[in-house]
Each structure stands twice: as C-alpha cells, then as structure tokens.
Amino acid sequence: MQASIGIPKSESQKITDILSTLLADEHVLVIKTRNYHWNITGPSFMEIHKFYESHYEILTETIDEIAERITQLGYQAIGTMKEFLSVTRLTEGPYNEHQTEQMKVLLADQETLCKNIRKDIDDIADLKDPVTTDFLTGVLAKHEKMAWMIRSFLK
C-alpha cells in the first residue's frame, strides 16, 4: 500500500530506487566481509576475525534499516541476490587470503560507498525528503568510521 506521508508517488519511487541501490551495495559488502571473516587465517586471526565480525554486524543492521525505510515509503524492498547484483555499484571479487589485501579491498568499497552515499543524500535532498536524508547521513557516518578503522589498520 502506498504511504500517504506527504511525498508524491513519483518522488517516493525515485527515493526507493536510490535506497534499493544502496541496499544492494550493503549486501555485496556484507557478503565480502563475511567471506573474509569465515576464511581468515594467519598470525592475526583472532584480532581480524573479530574486526570483520564487528563490521558485518554494523552492515547487517544497516541493511535492515534501509529495507525498513523502503517499506515505510510504501514499497517492497528488493531481496534476491539477482536483484542486488543487477543494481549494485560495487563489484564482487575472488577471495584473497592475504589480510592486507582484504583490508585494501574493504577500504576501497567503504570509500566508494561514502562517495556514493554523499551523492544519494544530495539527490534525496532535492526530492525534499528530510527523513531519508537524515537517515542516510547516519549511514554515511557508519561507513566513514569503518573506513577510518580499516585505514588505521593499514598504516
């Protein structure tokens, strides 16, 4: 059922499309992070294993929040891997067993997400949806923090 919350349907559809793309991005990143978490080996195993776990927990919570925002707007959230892969702005990649390389891949994805979310915020601000704009500002803050943590590891 279409939500009657003061956002015209044409605008809420555009907002939903932006959120759906972000939802797909988050899914690609959480799977990549979980893959590294599940398969990590080496001298820093426990530290990195816990680090990845903390990140995928944040990503999982963010995924749920994005999907719920889509449904609040009156739409159905996409939910299949085929749908995610058809709209994501990130790329899947092969598993890399080297911890530093894993971190570099995750940092690149986090920084890409930060740039994309900034654009998403601007685009949604133009559609006059302050609730989603504010929500995405919080999502951006999470990604900036995760990027900083990874960057700190790589120093």
Range of lowest pLDDT (39-48, 55-64, 140-149): 39-48
pLDDT exceeds 80 at position 5: no
The 10s digit of each residue's pLDDT in 90-108 is 999 888 889 999 999 999 9
- Using pLDDT thresholds of 50, 70 and 90, give the confidence band for residue 1: low
The 10s digit of each residue's pLDDT in 118-129 is 999 999 999 999
pLDDT exceeds 90 at position 3: no
Tell me the domains of the chain and their CATH numbers.
Answer: 9-90+97-154 (1.20.1260.10)
Average pLDDT, the chain: 96
Q: Who wins on pLDDT, 145 or 2?
A: 145
> Minimal CA–CA distance to 27: which of 126, 113, 118, 105?
113
pLDDT exceeds 80 at position 15: yes
Percent of all residues in the chain with a pLDDT value above 70, rounded to a whole number: 99
pLDDT, residue 54, reads 98
pTM exceeds cut of 0.85? yes
Distances (CA, A) of 52 to 25, 92, 143, 152: 17, 17, 14, 14
User: Which string of DSSP letters, residue by residue, matches 22-90?
Assistant: HHHHHHHHHHHHHHHHHH--STTHHHHHHHHHHHHHHHHHHHHHHHHHHHHTT-PPP-SHHHHHHH-SS
